[in-house]
Amino acid sequence: MDTIRLTLGEAIVRYLDNQYVTIEHNGEMIESKYVDYFYTVFGHGCVLGVGEALSQAEHSIKVMQGRNEQGMAQAAAAYGKMTNRMKIIPCISSIGPGAANMVTAAAMATVNNMPLLLFMGDTFASRQPDPVLQQIEQLHDGTVTTNDAFKAVTRYFDRITRPEQIMTALTNAMRVLTDPGHCGAVAIALSQDVQGESYDYPAEFFRKRVHFIPRQIPCDYEVRQVAEKIKESKKPLVIVGGGVRYSLAGETVKAFCEKHNIPFSETQAGKSAIESSHYLNVGGIGVTGNSSANVLAKDADLIIGIGSKFTDFTTSSKWLYADKQVVTINASAFHAGKLDSIKMVADALEGVKALEKYLDGYKTAYTTEIADAKADWDKEMDRLASCAYSEDYVPEIPNHVDDSVSGFVKATGGVITQTAALALIRKLIPDNAIAVGAAGSLPGCMQRMWTTDTRDAYNMEYGYSCMGYEIAGAFGSKLAYPDREVYAFTGDGSYNMLHSEMITALQEGKKINVLLFDNASFGCINNLQMGQGIEALCTESRYRVGDEPIRNGEFMNIDYATCAKGYGYVTYTAKTMDELEAALLDSMKQTKPTLIDIKVLPKSMTDGYGGWWNVGCSDIPRTEKGKEALKEKQEHLLEARKY
């Protein structure tokens, strides 16, 4: 057997540089080099092992410098998503706090089935210098390190204490990363001393490997069971989930719905798999859905979930279509079996194609219901786009502190409503621009209001809804689509939590556009708080007055544009719609990254439209509003599915 002597670090780099993936689509094999980039925040736990290999070994991988471990890993996950899981960016951190910073990103990737490969420095395998810098010691277990935290949030975890172990670890990593049904994060802990140790590796291990991403073919029994339920239904509704996107099945699902006259709605992950303007596309569904999808869901007699995990936001906490039969197509048997569904375990594209064998001649009984629901929503969209501040302005959200709007205007001068801002942004930026978001009130507004006819132009991380993903995700999206404009839609809350990768984007010469919606609050949580009858507390950015609660102070006015200008961004502040329009138009002329500080009125986001969310409210409420909230919860739970 031919062998080659390499350090563990060199073996990792050489192996990853020779990995490829391929998938069949429309009769052709699409092949992609799997690793073009490697993301690092070097520390003493990795810079002398894998770091040396990345610096000095021969390879074709571009190495990037991260600023925060969570941020770089979230950017890498976004890149994996936007390449339809055909590429990854491995990330490496040091031991201890650097590794712990990536736990959140690992959880986010696993929840969203994004491919993410993480390497973390670890303690010494020899234990000679224990306790090393940044080591945590447990009295009950000498093998425990910070990296054990990854076991709860990854699809595969391994710890390398001998250099030859990396061969099985990387083999397992590729198995998980290319699994259509259970893709997620992989975390491999690397003992500091072992990273530099050498071994005679089989040369065969480093040959070019092409990993085939299979399309799960359904069994005929499950196809017939699902088809039978569809044929029995008169008013089915399709829910397009993220599996449609990853399967490249948008056109197939669209043709299926057209042939049988079935309306389709979208989850956050499924949005942009099929064009928004399609006459059967009724938009977002569930808690953050719009009226057209939610009305049709309540009236439907069958729900057809394609590639959906059926989170509580998609099902409205199992209330919206609680009494409806559900059929599913999903590459994961776990997700396919939810809601007591009649399931088909299959790739989305292959599953839909297989149904046609048994649906010849089938048409739904819909007449004008789809068009009517869409027309009603179009009217509401026009109203939301025209919302403007005036002396008699009434906020969209009824529950608020008396001076939420007037106090904000006094402090910042901002008079832009969030819904009007989104409508203007959609009107002005390119249709193929990529919109990135994750948390706060913006995901709700965008699932309802954002439209695009460009495939994969919407990157909303709403499985983990992780504050801070927005800007990191925009950078990852830009790496995947360097020729398209990319916009990070972030609130001031998310921006303040994490915007470190703005610097890496600037360093790498990648233009991202940060749209910072500053309403001086954690707006959606303030809505939840006050909607349950709780007085506002620490969900608005106000100055404290003496020992009084923060809610009694005046709003803070932070100049985010000046902050970003210090990084080297081209920046703007928009307090009026005219200023926002001018900023958007000028930002599109720039070649450097941009940030627009948009001062948006609190309580000007969308709300309602037929969804319901089960939240943990008190069963001994202390206010009248709290009593109303509890009553509403109890009434909805009587109607909701129990499992």
Q: What is the pLDDT of residues 507-557, one digit of tens each?
A: 999 999 999 999 998 989 999 998 999 999 999 999 999 998 888 899 999
Tell me, what's the pLDDT at 494? 97
State which amino acid sits at residue 361.
G
Nearest Cα to Cα of residue 59 among 13, 2, 113, 127: 13
Task: Report how far residue 43's alpha carbon sits from residue 574's, in angstroms, rounded to the nearest whole number.
Answer: 40
User: pLDDT of 154-191, one tens digit each?
Assistant: 999 999 999 999 999 999 999 999 999 999 999 999 99
Q: Residue 465 pLDDT > 90, yes or no?
A: yes
The CATH T-level fold of domain 3-212 is Rossmann fold (3.40.50)
Q: What SS3 string covers 140-174?
A: CCCCCCHHHHHHHCCCEEEEECCHHHHHHHHHHHH
Q: Quote the tokens at residue 53.
A: 């290999």
DSSP symbol at 205:
G
**What's the average model confidence in pLDDT over 448-464?**
96
Task: Assess contact for 271 and 447: CB atoms under 8 A.
Answer: yes
Task: Assess contact for 264 and 292: CB atoms under 8 A.
Answer: no
**Within this chain, domains 3-212 and 220-376 share the same CATH topology:** yes
Task: Assess contact for 189 and 122: CB atoms under 8 A.
Answer: yes
Partners of residue 513 on adjacent β-strands? 487, 594
Q: Which of 305-309, 380-384, 535-539 has the lowest mean pLDDT?
A: 535-539
Tell me, what's the pLDDT at 623? 93
Tell me, what's the pLDDT at 554? 94
Task: Report how far residue 328's alpha carbon sits from residue 336's, in angstroms, rounded to the nearest whole number.
Answer: 6
How many of the other CB atoms lie within 10 Å of CB of 44? 16
pLDDT grade, residue 629 (50/70/90)?
very high
Q: What sections of 386-522 are H helices per DSSP?
A: 404-412, 418-428, 442-449, 469-480, 492-497, 501-507
Partners of residue 416 on adjacent β-strands? 600
pTM given for the model: 0.96
Say which residue the tokens 């690793």 belong to: 35
Tell me, what's the pLDDT at 286? 97
Task: Assess contact for 109 and 116: CB atoms under 8 A.
Answer: yes
Tell me, what's the pLDDT at 521? 86
State which amino acid sits at residue 527.
N
Q: Quote the tokens at residue 377.
A: 């929503």
Task: Report how far residue 70's alpha carbon sits from residue 75's, in angstroms, rounded to the nearest whole number.
Answer: 9
Contacts of 340 (CB under 8 A, 6+ apart): 326, 641, 643
% pLDDT > 70, the chain: 100
Q: Residue 289 pLDDT > 90, yes or no?
A: yes
Phi, psi of 333 (to 5 degrees): -65, -30
Reported CATH class of domain 220-376: alpha beta
Which pairs with CB-CB distance under 8 Å and at least 24 residues apart come from 253-257?
253/306, 253/348, 253/352, 254/278, 254/280, 256/352, 256/355, 256/356
Q: Residue 371 pLDDT > 90, yes or no?
A: yes
Supply the Cα-derived Rg of the chain in whole angstroms: 25
Say which residue the tokens 């995700």 belong to: 473
Q: What sections of 386-468 are H helices per DSSP?
A: 404-412, 418-428, 442-449
User: pLDDT of 244-281, one tens digit each?
Assistant: 999 999 999 999 999 999 999 999 999 999 999 999 99
**What's the average model confidence in pLDDT over 357-378?**
97
Tell me, what's the pLDDT at 552? 85
The half-sphere exposure of 439 on its side-chain side, counting CA atoms within 13 A, is: 21
Partners of residue 40 on adjacent β-strands? 65, 92
Cis peptide before 621 (omega within 30 of 0): no
Task: Report how far residue 113's alpha carbon sits from residue 85's, in angstroms, rounded to the nearest whole number.
Answer: 9
Q: Which of 62-76, 331-345, 391-405, 572-586 has the lowest mean pLDDT?
A: 391-405
Contacts of 99 (CB under 8 A, 6+ apart): 45, 69, 93, 120, 121, 122, 146, 147, 150, 189
User: pLDDT of 124-145, one tens digit each?
Assistant: 999 999 999 999 999 999 899 9
* Domain range annotation of the chain: 3-212, 220-376, 386-599
DSSP symbol at 455:
T
**Average pLDDT for the chain:** 96
Task: Assess contact for 97 and 24: CB atoms under 8 A.
Answer: no
Separation in Å, CA 621 to CA 401, 537, 555, 627: 19, 17, 29, 6
Separation in Å, CA 482 to CA 475, 476, 479, 508: 10, 10, 5, 11
Task: Assess contact for 604 and 581: CB atoms under 8 A.
Answer: no
Helix, strand and coil in the chain, % to nearest 5: 40, 20, 40
Tell me, what's the pLDDT at 19? 98
Task: Assess contact for 288 and 447: CB atoms under 8 A.
Answer: yes
% pLDDT > 90, the chain: 95
Helix axes of 8-16 and 166-177: crossing angle, nearest 10 degrees: 30
Q: Quote the tokens at residue 243.
A: 């599996």
Task: Report how far residue 72's alpha carbon sits from residue 475's, in angstroms, rounded to the nearest whole number.
Answer: 9
User: pLDDT of 481-492, one tens digit each?
Assistant: 999 999 999 999
Separation in Å, CA 251 to CA 17, 23, 25, 106, 348: 33, 17, 12, 31, 11
Helix, coil or strand: residue 572: strand
Domain 386-599 of CATH type 3.40.50.970: yes
**Total residues belonging to the chain:** 643
